[in-house]
Amino acid sequence: MQSSPAASALIRQTYVTFAALWAAWTLTWALKALVLDARFGWLTTSLGGFVFWCAAKVLLWVLPALFLVRLSGRTLREVFNFGNWRGWLAWGGGVGFLIAITGFVPHALQGKPLLPTAFSIPLLNVLTVAPVLEEFLIRGAVFGNLLRGHSLRTANAVSALLFVLLHMPGWYFMGNLAENMTRPVGGAFSILVLGLLFGYAAYRGKSVAGAMIAHFLNNLAA
């Protein structure tokens, strides 16, 4: 696919913006781990960490994502495309269900509950904040912009790689970067595959909501 000058400029700006937010995201992890946690013990609690990271994600993910969407000439209505609810519900739910089976089956064989049995703040983060904010940034903004100048295969592969990259600062400061980069299941490779599937759900469902649903169902079964 040959990109127009406008599409090429949009893609360059998308990469530059992502690089800047990734650098800011890495610095935020460093600031919290090396400075703030020692000075403000409340930030090490579930609630404190939840509030801190929600604020950081809104500032460092959502605002740049809004900028990228606007830069592409799209509207939030186009990104979410709620009017096509049958499409994104079917594709997001279908892809998400197939992914979830890989978690439900081992749980069933091991006699574990298939669904969470108690509410917790980390659970709230995993089931709501992560699927919505991560997908809005990666599939809604980045993937949507890359499709303006790349093929579906390229745009999906690149956005999936950036999805992995987004996880790496957290892995590093939690001390499990090497483990996640080398283990065959549950680490970077699994995140990459999931990113490809979430992108496909968004593309086929013609809405970032498809990716959000698939992401939610994956996390529900994890």
| Contact between residue 50 and residue 125 where contact means Cβ atoms under 8 Å apart | yes
187 CA to centre of own chain: 14
Query: Could you tell me how far CA 26 lies from the centroid of its own chain?
Result: 16
Cβ–Cβ under 8 Å, residues 156 and 200: yes
Q: What is the pTM of this model?
A: 0.95
Residue 146's identity, in one-letter code, is L
**What local confidence, expressed as pLDDT, does residue 222 receive?**
86
* pLDDT for res 2: 55
- Cα–Cα dist 36/189, whole Å: 31
Calpha distance 134→216 (Å, rounded): 11
All residue ranges of the chain with pLDDT < 70 are: 1-2
pLDDT for the residue 186: 85
Q: Which residue is it, tokens 């749980």? A: 107
pLDDT digits (tens, 9 = 90+) for 53-95: 999 999 999 999 999 999 999 999 999 999 999 999 999 999 9
Question: Counting beta carbons within 10 angstroms of the beta carbon of residue 151, is it exposed (0 to 12), middle (13 to 18) or buried (19 or more)?
Answer: exposed
Alpha-carbon gap, residue 220 to 78, rounded angstroms: 27
The answer to whether the CB of 4 falls within 8 A of the CB of 149 is yes
Half-sphere exposure of 166 (CA within 13 A, CB side): 22
Residues across the chain: 222
- pLDDT value of residue 117: 86
pLDDT confidence of residue 47? 96
Q: Where exactly are the structural domains of the chain?
A: 5-221
Task: Name the packing angle between helices 188-205 and 85-109 (round to 10°).
Answer: 150
Say which residue the tokens 């690149």 belong to.
Answer: 158
